[in-house]
Structure formats: structure tokens, C-alpha cells
Structure 1
Amino acid sequence: MSQTSAFAELAAEPYVSLTTFRRDGTAVPTTVWAAPFGGRLLVWTGAESGKVKRLRHAPVATVAPCDQGGSLLGDPVPAHVRIMRRDEKRTLDAALKAKYGWKFRIAALGATIGRLIGVGRRGQIGLEITLD
């Protein structure tokens, strides 16, 4: 499958399995929402999440289409992931709102409330996935 068709397939899926790797090489898959933007996939996640910690150590991953429960619906594709800067939040939010609409707005509201009550103190951050 070409990179272009792999990207189109991943961009169209409601859920994507993002697999990051521990220091010992153990794969850790996580089901995420991913929205297309400029030839890349943008993911919204907790700034203190395990996947962010793993990506700080090694920015390599695989992505694959999956269902809500994480069962793969296609082959994994190698990728590199960049942790987005906080000043890129508007781009991230716009991409996710365009794809997920009210579902993203509800999730963002829940994350804001959680931060206000002391859960996830650092809030949310974006991940920019580039297919290899």
C-alpha cells in the first residue's frame, strides 16, 4: 500500500491504534482519535500520558486503523511522532472539531473540568504523526 493510500485510509477512520514503545522495546498500543491536517495526523492526548512519556524517549510509532476497542482493521504503518507545542493548540482543536464535531467538544469540556478539579494537571497536548 502506498503512503498516500495508507494516509487516506487512516484519516478516514474514526479510531486509530497508535503503538508506542517502552525503553525495553515492548509495544504499547492505544486507541486514539486522529484528524488529518496538512498530510499528517493530529492526535489529542493527556500531556502526562504514558504515550507522551514514551514518545519523549523515542519518537517512533506505528499506526493502524482500528475499532473503538482497539482491534486492528488493517496493517500497521511505521511513523514518527512529534509532540506539538502548546501554541499549536488552535490548529489541533480545529482539525479535531472538523472531524469529530460535538464529540470532540464534549471530550474537551470533560478534560477542562478534570484539570480544574486536579485531574491531569498539565492538561492536553497534541501529537503530530508523520507516516514513514
Structure 2
Amino acid sequence: MISLDTLALQRTVLLETRKRDGSWVATPVSIVADAGRAYFRSYDAAGKAKRLRNFPQVRVAPCTMRGRPTGPAVAGSARLLSDEEAAPVRRMLAAKHPVLHGRLVPALHRRKGWTTLHYELTLEPS
């Protein structure tokens, strides 16, 4: 069974979100964890953000950077964080992934005019 501690050691996890028709869409996302909580980011126009607005239920599995699963998926839910809650998450992502989330992702989001969204990931107890 995959735990939050196991996922916290990963650089990338495979996040599966549910569509309206009930099918699942898998997307690799960078993850950080602190104090027993895991977090990831997206942008407002992304498909996963739109799906999370309708269905906060997710499945998460460890994976490679390209999205190939390396372990079993576990059920969970994602909660959108407020701007105040997201501030430490921004710093944690930039510290763990300095090039990608410290420079590239924020610059791309600003250039495209996207709003960066941060989510808290909670796993369901087994």
C-alpha cells in the first residue's frame, strides 16, 4: 500500500482525475510534502483543474517523470488552496524543483496569463 510518506519521496506522481463520463485521465505532476500533507500545482486553464472543480476525487501513483507508473494507485481527494495557504507550497516546490518550479513554471504561467492553482492532496485511509 502506498502511503503519503512514500509519495513524498517521489519527484513526480501520476495524478488521475475523473471526467464527467466517469473515465479517468492520468497526468504526471510534481509533488511536495510537509507535515504529513502533500501538495501539487496546476494552472486554471488545465484540463485537470477543470476536472477537479467537478470531481475532487483522485487516484495517485508513483511514476517516472514521463508518467509511467512505478507502483499501484491509491484513492484520495484534492482541495484547492487559498492564496495564503499556497505561499509556503510555492516555496517548497521551488526548493525541491528549483529549475522547473522555481523559474520555468512561474515564468510560463505569467507569460500566458494563467492563474497558478495549488492543491492539497489527501489520501483515503485503507
The residue aligned with 1:103 is: 100
Which residue in the other structure is 1:131 paired with? 123
In the superposition, the TM-score normalised over structure 2's length comes to 0.88
| Residues 1:49 and 2:46 are matched in the alignment | yes
Q: Unpaired segments of 5 or more residues in structure 1? A: none
Stretches of structure 2 that go unaligned for 5 or more consecutive residues are none
Q: Which residue of 1 aligns with 2:57?
A: 60
Percent identical among aligned pairs is: 29
Q: How far does residue 31 in structure 1 lie from its aligned partner after superposition?
A: 0.5
Distance 1:50 1:80 in 2: 16
Please identify which structure carries the higher helix content: 1
Tell me the TM-score normalized by structure 1: 0.85
Q: Deviations over 1:60-118 (max 9, x none)?
A: 0011100011110000010010011122231211221232234321224423542xxxx
RMSD: 1.6
The count of aligned residue pairs is 124
Taking the aligned partners of 2:108 and 2:88, their CA distance within structure 1 comes to 18
1:111, 1:123 within 8 Å by CA — same for their partners in 2? no
Runs (4+) off by over 4 Å: none
